[in-house]
A and B are shown apart, each in its own frame.
Chain A
Amino acid sequence: MDLDKALRISASGMQAQTTRLRVIAENLANQDTTGGKPGADPYRRKTVSFDDQVDRATGETLVRVKKIGVDKSAFPQKYEPSHPAADAKGYVSTPNVNSFVEVMDMREAQRSYSANLQVMQVTRGLLTRAIEMLK
């Protein structure tokens, strides 16, 4: 039934946004994680990309997380000779996580999640009304 499809599609959207939020949480939690050894790489920012996927059995166009990739931008260098991860010149590579970017991304994930939830609530309303027709 079409309304069941709509519910499943919205659920897939919510799931995809949840994964996105998880990656954002990882990035934010690790925004100060440096390498352990001198000259070692720090935490590298992760990125999420989405993809639409047609469920062949039902013809629904679901959304899924295509890939959790990494941000290849350069690590900011910080001069801190006393740090255990400092290289020969005294510089430490810090993670390429920008907390502002992450917070904005988080907001967007939140908006998309609630939009999907809203659709789900409307769909549920349609179903309930259809059932009430039997009364």
Chain B
Amino acid sequence: MNPSSVGLLDLAEQRLKWLGARQSVLAANVANADTPGWKSRDVKPFSEVLASSGAVASAPVQTDPNHLHGSVADNSGTKLLAGERAPDGNQVSLDQQLEKIAQTDSDHEAVTALYRRYVGMFKEALGR
């Protein structure tokens, strides 16, 4: 089996890139939490980025009618209600931003863990 043909490593790489980009956008929101007129920003949802890059996400395929066909809800593109605005026009809600950062953190952890496990499988196969 060719590791590069699986697509999971590639997918993980793209996801990590996206998480890094998101982290810097969220950091800018927090840093500008007292800047007059600053509006909260966020990056495009990962699913859109993935679709535009032409990569196909690996999805479970139903090969038997008895398989469950559940789908994982993707809430990364959820439109949050615009936070209230301070008198100086600033729209950053620190708790909302920190929540997003925590989410980025745990997503990153999940992806790196997955990546390592996956590489570990190949190592195992190679007997190292």
> In the bound complex, how far is the Cα of B34 from the Cα of A123, in angstroms?
21
Report yes or no: A129 in contact with B109, Cβ–Cβ below 8 A. yes
Residue B49 at the chain A interface, CB threshold 8 Å: no
> In the bound complex, how far is the Cα of B38 from the Cα of A101, in angstroms?
23
Report yes or no: A130 in contact with B98, Cβ–Cβ below 8 A. no
Give B68-124 interface residues, CB cut-off 8 Å to A. 94, 97-98, 101-102, 104-105, 108-109, 112, 115-116, 119
Report yes or no: A123 in contact with B23, Cβ–Cβ below 8 A. yes
* Given A2-B23, A5-B24, A9-B28, CB of A133 within 8 Å of CB of B35: no
Give A1-22 interface residues, CB cut-off 8 Å to B. 1-3, 5-7, 9-10, 12-13, 16-17, 20
Residue B27 at the chain A interface, CB threshold 8 Å: yes
Closest Cβ–Cβ distance, residue A102 to chain B (whole Å): 16
> In the bound complex, how far is the Cα of B36 from the Cα of A49, in angstroms?
8
Report yes or no: A122 in contact with B101, Cβ–Cβ below 8 A. yes
Report yes or no: B31 in contact with A12, Cβ–Cβ below 8 A. yes
Residue B16 at the chain A interface, CB threshold 8 Å: yes
Report yes or no: A52 in contact with B35, Cβ–Cβ below 8 A. yes
Q: Please tell me the number of chain B residues within 8 Å of chain A, measured between CB atoms.
A: 31
Report yes or no: B20 in contact with A50, Cβ–Cβ below 8 A. no
Closest Cβ–Cβ distance, residue A86 to chain B (whole Å): 38
Return chain B residues, CB-CB under 8 Å to A120: 27
Beta-carbon nearest neighbor of B34 in chain A: A50
Report yes or no: A6 in contact with B32, Cβ–Cβ below 8 A. no
Query: Top 5 nearest A-B pairs by Cβ distance?
Result: A13-B31, A2-B20, A6-B24, A6-B27, A5-B24
Chain B positions within 8 Å of A, measured between CB atoms, are 16-17, 19-21, 23-24, 26-28, 30-36, 38, 94, 97-98, 101-102, 104-105, 108-109, 112, 115-116, 119
26 sample A-B contacts, Cβ–Cβ < 8 Å, listed by A number: A1-B20, A3-B23, A5-B24, A6-B20, A9-B27, A10-B27, A49-B36, A50-B34, A52-B28, A52-B32, A60-B24, A60-B28, A63-B31, A63-B35, A112-B34, A115-B30, A115-B33, A115-B97, A115-B98, A119-B23, A119-B31, A122-B23, A125-B105, A126-B19, A129-B109, A129-B112
With A119-B98, A126-B108, A130-B112 already in contact, 9 other A-B pairs whose C-beta atoms are closer than 8 Å? A2-B17, A9-B27, A10-B27, A50-B36, A52-B28, A62-B28, A115-B30, A122-B104, A133-B116
